[in-house]
Amino acid sequence: MSKAKAKGTGYENEVTNYLNEHVLLVAERVGKIIGNPGDVEVSVEFGVHPLRARLQTYVIECKRRASAWKQIYKWLDKNDNDFLFMRADHEKSLVVMRPEQFVKLLSGTLPASRKDRRCFDKS
């Protein structure tokens, strides 16, 4: 296995393990299985009533670079932003967030406002 391939596989495993450790969901590294669109699949159950709960599966693409996204980190860190929306000309928008925010969003524990978040973080 090439060094680049090993680095990518390692990051896919890192993301999978993080999600499995921090959320009550199932994350599985699916790699490059024929017909699979991403690197990791996450299944989340929504709804509190067992008969009305539904399982939703999300596909995650994992990319790791040495220094390609430094400006993105700066924008996200500015004013302690929760999310970063960005778009190239003639493309659809993207949303960037920290893994902690992603986990809170999926698990339904992300407070609705900054005021609520400050209270949430202190508890």
Taking residue 93's Cβ as centre, other Cβ atoms within 10 Å add up to 8
Query: Which residue, among 89, 105, 96, has the nearest Cα to 71 in the 3D structure?
Result: 96
pTM over 0.85: no
Are 71 and 59 contained in the same domain?
no
**Model pLDDT, residue 84:** 93
**Residue 8 scores a pLDDT above 60:** yes
Are 57 and 91 contained in the same domain?
no
DSSP label at residue 78 = G
109: which residues sit within 8 A by CB, 6+ positions away?
120
90: left (phi over 0), alpha (psi -120 to 50) or beta: left
**Residue 97 scores a pLDDT above 90:** yes
- Do residues 23 and 107 make contact, with C-beta atoms less than 8 angstroms apart? yes
Burial label, 24 (beta-carbon count in 10 A; 0-12, 13-18, 19+) = exposed
Please indicate whether residue 25 or residue 14 has the higher confidence score (pLDDT).
14
**Residue 115 scores a pLDDT above 60:** no
User: What mean pLDDT value characterizes the chain?
Assistant: 78
119: which residues sit within 8 A by CB, 6+ positions away?
111
Are 4 and 54 contained in the same domain?
yes
Range of the domain at 52: 1-64
**Model pLDDT, residue 34:** 57
Question: Which pair of tokens denotes residue 22?
Answer: 């921090």
**Residue 102 scores a pLDDT above 60:** yes
Are 75 and 113 contained in the same domain?
yes
Of the pLDDT bands very low, low, confident and very high (cuts 50, 70, 90), residue 120 is: very low
Once rounded to an integer, what is the mean pLDDT over residues 65-85?
89
